[in-house]
Each structure stands twice: as structure tokens, then as C-alpha cells.
Structure 1
Amino acid sequence: METRVDCHVKVLDETVVERAIDAGLDAIVYAPHFTRLPEIQRRADRFSSEELLVIPAREVFTGSWRDRKHVLGIGLEESVPDFIPLEAAMAEFERQGAAVLVPHPEFATVSLTEADLRRYRDVIDAVEIFNPKHFPSHNRRARELADLFDYPPFASSYAHLPSTVGVAYTAFEASIDSEADLVSAFTDGVARRVVHQNGSRRWRTTVTELAHLCYENTWEKVDRLFLSGTEPTNPHHIAYDGRFDDVSVY
């Protein structure tokens, strides 16, 4: 039994579901930015069906805007905010028994480094070795890092745009019918293969996603920092009941 999972998408609506099914996917992992876990879980449940399993997850922005590092947790039961130190996020993921994934290692200024991968060897469950936002050199470096520390690999579309869904995915040699099944596949090191498209569609995806990244890191960032007030995932938000006040970087 093989289960095809796009291990990280940022968008979710009817179009995304249709594209995922058309691409032959069995499941997608939904982890939007700046959204608390209960809302992610509700939306994932709304769009799940017998044809496509939607699994909720959180990509936490650790550190400050100037020194942020992204880490993906699957199988969380309690919310984890953004803007806390990497060590605090890792400790919380470990406490909750989540699968801990490293998206886009050493990419731009938003990723875990070689030193981080070494430090958290006993916590991290998989490293992304293909991301369509990357140029070939980035993907080669990601694979080198996974091989260096013998981390199991994964791939995702990292779709911020619906058209990107299914461009890359991970095919597990196991039946995955629930969030718990996927967590076990990662934490138990289930055999898998990484699949991704090449050719013109792959490069169109890179161009459009990088253009979106530029927007995300210019006007959208200004809007979030200065115009929109406290983020729902800010550690000081009332939803966290003060549990992360002592480690908040803002």
C-alpha cells in the first residue's frame, strides 16, 4: 500500500482539493501562516473526505522577524505560538509527541541551519529535500544536509498558490488514514520515496511561488507588523493564557 502525501500546503479551498485529487494525492498537510491550531483543525476537517485526507499542522515562526526559523509540527494537541525561540518550540513539540519536520533547510533567512540540524538530531523526524520554491542548488544542499545527519527525507509543494499543489509529494509505503497514521509514519521512519515534477511546469511554479514570496516578505510583512495589531499566533495573545509570555521575543 502506497500513500501519496503533499506534506505542506498553505492554502485550502475547493480548488486546492480538486487539484490534489487530480494529482493523485491521498492526503495533504495544511499548515497556513499565522493561524491558531483550532482554526486549522476546523478547516482541515471541513475539507477532508473519503477522496482526500486533510491533516492539520503548524509551521511555527521561531525567533524574531530578523532571525526567524521555520519548523513544522504535525500531530499537535495544543497550540504553539510564533515568535518564541527555536529551543522553546522544539521542547513544546517534543512534549506533545508531534512529528517534527524541517522545511526548506538553509533557504534564505527563514530556515534551520546545519548547526540546528546537528543540535536537534534526536528531535527532528524528517528534512525536506525538494521544495519547488528552491533552485536546483538549494535542493541539492537540502539533500546533502539530510544525508549528512541520516535524516529521512520528505517533499512538499509548499503551495502558497492553489496551482502549486501536487507538484511535489512524498509517497509512503504504508496506509495513512489519519493524522496519527502520518505522525507514526514520520516518527517510525516508514519507507518512502520523494516525487516531484520537472520541466516547464516545475519552473513556472518556481517563478510564481518566488514572486509570491517577495510579496509576502514586503507589503504583507509591513501590514502584519504595523497595521494589523497583534497576530493570532503572537505569544501574548489571550488564547495562550500567558503560557509563553516568558519566552516571547516580542
Structure 2
Amino acid sequence: MSERAPAETRIDCHVKVLDDRVVERAIDAGLDAIVYAPHFTRVPEIRREAATYSTEELRVIPGREVFTGSWHERKHVLAIGLEEPVPDFIPLETAMDEFERQDAAVLAPHPEFATVGLTEEDLRRYRDIVDAVEIFNPKHFPSHNRRARELAETLDIAPFASSYAHLTGSVGVAYTTFDAAIDSEADLVDALEGDVSRRVVYRNGGRRWKTMAAELAHLGYENTWEKVDRLFLSGTEPTHPHHIAYDGRFDDVSVY
């Protein structure tokens, strides 16, 4: 592990799992913080979990990855700093309007990956809203990461990296080092929106390929239509647009 500058913060900017083992793994990887953004979970619950597992050694920052559009045409967008709930399965335009209204930091995870990332056209359209593009993700093949870096550079959008960990062993395989002290969710939002200088850090070699294989295998199960149809689309799950938590605000734009 390299020496760190006086004011720098190492953050795995997108993690899907959280328990004591995840915290231990993150600390062992030299991280200062992780962004916890589980699927199909509302922000208040994410905040409670993040607070429960935050320690003096590791800050757990709440995030919300919203699935926009229908399941078959969905695009993922990661927001940090939301104060009001935003459901899944609403149009991308509606989600972006909500993020902008709430002044949340907006990140584009895994662009153009497996039909679930924002496209170049999307990024151009929302250039003034998107604060960072993920240029390394261990689920990607090298060609995907090269394309993601190309998008960030061509569109002049700041980069970030994450483990996108759905499995404990993936935490810390990739992260972003910010040249600033980041001690809270608000600090991270400010750093992302203020385009604070940063470096992406990732591991290649055996562990990187092992992580990729394990995560892609997990992805195969997670992304089955049967699972989502059974567990989510009944309309009562926490982030369904028709859930009572949203007070009917998104009924007119819900795609289900």
C-alpha cells in the first residue's frame, strides 16, 4: 500500500454489500470510505445501514443506484446526497430531473456496459448533470474500460472507479483517491460536484480476473427476469414507483 498525501481520501465509490466482513475487507484494502448503494432499497434504510457500519476507520456513505426505464431497457444512474426518495423504473429524464432538483451528485456507473449503462448520447444530453463517469469496473473486459475512459475524456467529465462489489471479496479491488479530506456524505458530494482532482486505482493480474469471473457469475443470477418479476414487480416493494412511500408522485411516469 502506497504512502498517502496529507489530504487525500480513498473511496470505493460503489458497493452493493455491507456487513462486518465488508468493513474489515475495506479497511484491509486501505480505504477510508465506501459508498453503499444496494439495489431496491430506499434511501432512509440505506442511511440507517450506513450509520450502523460506519466506524472511525471507515466511513460508509449512503448512495442510491436508480434503475431507470423498464427492466429490459433499464439504465443505471448512481446518486449521492439525495434527501427525498426516487423510485426505480421511471424514465431516465424524470430521474435526472429529480437528482438535479435535489442537488445530488450524479455518477454514471459502467457506461455502455451490457445495455444497462448510460450511452454516449445519454452522457452528452446530461453533460451538465453527470458529475463523473466510471472508467474502471472489475466486471468490465479491458475493451469496456478503454471505452469508458474514452467517453470521460471526450466529453470532459471527471472519472471515478469502484469495485461495484456484489461480493465481499471484491471490495477494494478498484477505488478512487480524491486529493481532499472527505469526512462525510456532504464532503463527497462537494468533491464530485466541484471536480476535485483524483486518481483511479485498480488491481490487475490474477486477483482482478478472479474478481471479474466471480462477479459476472453473480450477475447472471441477479439479472434474470424471473427473479425480478417474482420479487419486485408486484408493486409493493420498497422502490416500486407505486409504493406508498412515494405518495403517488410518480404514478403518471411509472413504466410498470
- The answer to whether the aligner puts 1:16 opposite 2:28 as a matched pair is no
How many pairs were matched up? 248
1:64 maps to which residue?
A: 70
Partner of 2:229: 225
Mind listing any 5+ residue stretches in structure 2 that lack a counterpart? Answer: 1-6
Taking structure 1 as the reference length, the TM-score comes to 0.98
2:171 to 165, 178, 184: 165
Equivalences for residues 71-220 of structure 1 within 5 A: 71-218=77-224
The corresponding residue for 2:244 is 238
Identity %: 76
Cα offset for 1:109?
Answer: 1.3
AA partner of residue 147 (structure 2): R
* 1:171 aligned counterpart, secondary structure: strand
Say which of 55, 69, 75 aligns to 1:49. Answer: 55
Counterpart-to-counterpart distance in 1, 2:120 and 2:196: 24
Name the residue aligned to 2:11. Answer: 5
**Shift of residue 100, structure 1, vs aligned partner:** 0.3
Structure 1, unaligned stretches of length 5 or more? none
Give the stretch that moved more between structures: 224-233 or 72-81: 224-233
| Deviation string, structure 1 residues 51-83 (Cα, Å, up to 9, x no partner) | 000000100000001110000000000110000
What is the deviation of 1:224? 2.7
TM-score by length of 2: 0.95
Question: Which contiguous aligned blocks of 4+ residues in structure 1 show a shift greater than 6 angstroms?
Answer: none
Matched residues in 1 for 2:17 and 2:193: separation?
A: 25
What are the Cα deviations for residues 185-215 of structure 1, in whole angstroms up to 9, with x where unaligned? 0000000000000100000000000000001
